[in-house]
Amino acid sequence: MNEAALREAIVETGRSLFARGYAVGTAGNISARLGDGFLVTPTNSCLGTLDAARLARLDARFHHVAGDKPSKEVFMHRAFYQARPATGAVVHLHSTMATAIACLAQPRERRPIPPLTPYFVMRIGRDLPVIAYFRPGDPAMEAAIAAEAANASAVLLANHGPVVTGATLGDAVAAAEELEEAAKLALLLRAARPRELTPAQIDDLLKTFG
């Protein structure tokens, strides 16, 4: 995808996420990799009303070179791009159900959401590490995420929300949506004893869908 198309895709993704309630106010941010750098949503912007021309452009070393000031969470995005070179996009949301789990789970927990459905396992993988609480925009978050990112395509920030990656923007958004649904199911079934996928079923999914 060329830069103009990627800019439009970020705007459309933000509009869609906002329209469907995955983002409210100015919460959440999106980034995507270019051949020679990154596009990042501006800080304090509403994902529902992004302007393609004003997205922040960073060079390959994450220096801001054009557009509005980037998200204060650029460190959390950088942690994933550096630890997982195949990452093409990162989506951070405060989506309600995943954030509820992020308020219930203990920091350092690795599986805060049970493996109930195949698409959760296929899109998120085996582990969803819970990162200790950091103030939004705290650069110290980067090292904490980097310590987990090589082995996890997504994390939950304690009392804050999910950060989800993908090879493409579409992949990252689809994974963020699956995570939100899995969190909703986990909360709905919390008092019950739902049947979980077995380790053999999880292995089969990961082997088949990677």
Residue among 86, 124, 129, 131 at smallest CA distance from 202: 124
Active site residue 133: no
Nearer to ligand 13P, 93 or 124 (CB): 93
| Binding-site string for ligand 13P from residue 131 to residue 170, where x marks contact by CB under 6 A and - marks none | -----x----------------------------------
95 is a contact residue toward ligand 13P (CB under 6 A): no
Number of residue whose CB is nearest ligand 13P: 71
User: Quick one: which of 10, 13, 18, 28 contacts ligand 13P (CB under 6 A)?
Assistant: 28
User: Quick one: which of 16, 43, 96, 117 contacts ligand 13P (CB under 6 A)?
Assistant: 43
CB 88 within 8 A of CB 38: no
Q: How far is the CB of 25 from ligand 13P (least distance, A)?
A: 9
Active site residue 180: no
3-19 and 169-188 helices, crossing angle to 10°: 20
DSSP SS3 for 160: coil
CB 102 within 8 A of CB 157: yes
DSSP SS3 for 32: strand
Which helix H or strand E contains 70, and what residues bound it?
A: none
Contact range with ligand 13P by CB under 6 A, out of 12-20, 26-34, 46-54, 104-112: 26-34
**Which residues does the annotation mark as catalytic?**
73, 119
